[in-house]
Structure 1
Amino acid sequence: MPDYSDDDIRNAAEIREWLTKQILEKQDEIEKLQITLNLVDSLLKQGSFRAASNYNVTKSNNKQDLKLQQRPSNTLVSKSSNPSDTQDLKDESIDNEREVRSIKRPKDNLMVASFHIFQDYIDIIPEGSINISIETPPFKSFFLNRILQGMKNKDLEKVKQGIISEPDVMDFEVITDEQYPGRIKNIRISRFKEKERINEIFNTAAWVITRMLEKSEK
């Protein structure tokens, strides 16, 4: 059984509290949406229309099978001296972008980063005005070493079991700004494979970045 430090336990307790709050907020939102849906269905029935769920609706959300990225393992941390590097990372596969989510700070709804989901990788890009350092806790100890490395270790275990091949193992890298040492420009997670990992990475990243900002402001 792995040993967890006091910081790990404290971080886990805090993120659990944050997730519980998020779930309650989402449940309230779902209830309101359900009430609205019931009203719409009621209106449709009064107008002698079939309920909306009976119609064939064509969705265009580009649901394609995730393709595993076949490339050598990335380095954990790299530096960029070119200001356009982050933009290049965003643009190189823009046609394959499936979804963009906003990471916002709960207390004031400030947008702190964008979460770009591509076919075979994820980019987490802090907003230009947001200055967060790779050295600020709990980025390395929790997000990199526990969450992302934990996912990678699970894939490596699957390689040993013959379930997946080594080029399919999840990997990640952090692009930092050479002009401002340690400042995070982009976090890329490659070959995430499982859809469930997207939400786990998003929720954890949102909490971690918020905590980093709190520590930076002290």
Structure 2
Amino acid sequence: MLGYSDDDIKNAAEIREWLTKQILEKQDEIEKIKINLSLIDSVLKQGSFKTAANLNFSKKFSPSEQKNEMNSMKKTPNQYYEKHRENEEQTEPREQAVEETRLIKRLKDNTPLARVHVTSEEVTIIPEDPIKISIETPPFRSFFLNRILQGMRNKDLDKIKQGQLSESDMISYDIITENENKDILKKIQIKNYRDKERINEIFNTAAWVLTRMLDKVDK
């Protein structure tokens, strides 16, 4: 039986740790892909979009039109939100000017779920009145907090350890509940998101999670 040096054992342990981390990251990616697929399926079931089989590209579209149509279908998850830009000439002073507001709706009945305000520094998610949902309702903690937001924090922590990010720039979040009932969600504040990709991920997962939570409340 071959013996192994201390360096061999140390290297093997480091490789094992790296492989374990890769597995977790791939599992997260798969979960996010499943969520986006679920969103697209929901849209298609509502009859808002045609399936690829019914588009009949070869007879009805030129190559450039085919490309535009496919690009449009790829953006389907964003149909969950109604967007509008805030008036840039607004005279009322604000600490942070709202750059964009989006309304998240439940697809099956167009029930407004939450309003999402985006500034250059933070994302704020506020449930629409009269929506009352508990932070203990799955999958809020198990998925949105522990997998999505905490997953972003863990990636930032890795960058801090590698000297690629300062601690002051690490993503953070606050879950604010109502004063009268500490279980009822009032607001989610997410600071230092830093890039648009994270905004889109937060929007997509928040839409899915809030829909699931409200469905459980309605049962």
The normalised TM-score by structure 2 is 0.63
- The answer for the alignment partner of 2:176 in structure 1 is 175
Q: 1:108, CA displacement in angstroms?
A: 0.6
> Is the counterpart of residue 114 in structure 1 residue 115 in structure 2?
yes
Q: Which has the larger radius of gyration?
A: 2
Decide whether the 8 Å contact of 2:104 with 2:114 is kept in 1: yes
Aligned residue pairs: how many? 159
Amino acid at match of 2:159: K
Amino acid at match of 1:215: K
Within a 5 Å distance, the mapping from 1:1-218 to structure 2 comes to: 1=20, 15-21=35-41, 93=95, 95-218=96-219
Amino acid at match of 1:138: P
Q: Deviations over 1:77-136 (max 9, x none)?
A: xxxxxxxxxxxxxx953x521100000001011111001001100000001200111100
Measured at CA, do residues 61 and 127 of structure 1 come closer, stay the same or move farther in structure 2, by a change above 3 Å? closer
Decide whether the 8 Å contact of 2:178 with 2:186 is kept in 1: yes
Q: 1:178, CA displacement in angstroms?
A: 2.3
Amino acid at match of 1:181: K
Q: 1:217, CA displacement in angstroms?
A: 1.5
Amino acid at match of 1:17: L
Measured at CA, do residues 101 and 10 of structure 1 come closer, stay the same or move farther in structure 2, by a change above 3 Å? same
Decide whether the 8 Å contact of 2:42 with 2:107 is kept in 1: no
Amino acid at match of 2:175: V
State how far apart, in whole Å, the 2-side matches of 1:126 and 1:191 are: 21
State how far apart, in whole Å, the 2-side matches of 1:214 and 1:188 are: 23
Amino acid at match of 1:177: E
Report which structure shows greater RCO (CA 8 Å, sep ≥6).
Answer: 1
Give ranges in structure 2 of 5+ residues lacking alignment: 1-19, 56-60, 66-84, 88-92
Measured at CA, do residues 22 and 217 of structure 1 come closer, stay the same or move farther in structure 2, by a change above 3 Å? closer
Give ranges in structure 1 of 5+ residues lacking alignment: 39-59, 63-90
Measured at CA, do residues 177 and 166 of structure 1 come closer, stay the same or move farther in structure 2, by a change above 3 Å? same
Q: 1:14, CA displacement in angstroms?
A: 5.8
- Percent of pairs identical after alignment? 47
Q: Secondary structure at the match of 2:109?
A: coil
Q: 1:180, CA displacement in angstroms?
A: 1.8
Decide whether the 8 Å contact of 2:115 with 2:126 is kept in 1: yes
Q: Secondary structure at the match of 2:149?
A: helix
Measured at CA, do residues 21 and 176 of structure 1 come closer, stay the same or move farther in structure 2, by a change above 3 Å? same
Decide whether the 8 Å contact of 2:104 with 2:116 is kept in 1: yes
- The answer for the alignment partner of 1:82 in structure 2 is none
Amino acid at match of 2:145: L
Decide whether the 8 Å contact of 2:124 with 2:188 is kept in 1: yes
Q: Identify, as 1 or 2, the structure richer in helix.
A: 2
Q: Deviations over 1:173-217 (max 9, x none)?
A: 100012023100000000000111001000000000000001111
State how far apart, in whole Å, the 2-side matches of 1:23 and 1:158 are: 37
Amino acid at match of 1:201: I
* Coordinate RMSD, CA, aligned: 3.4
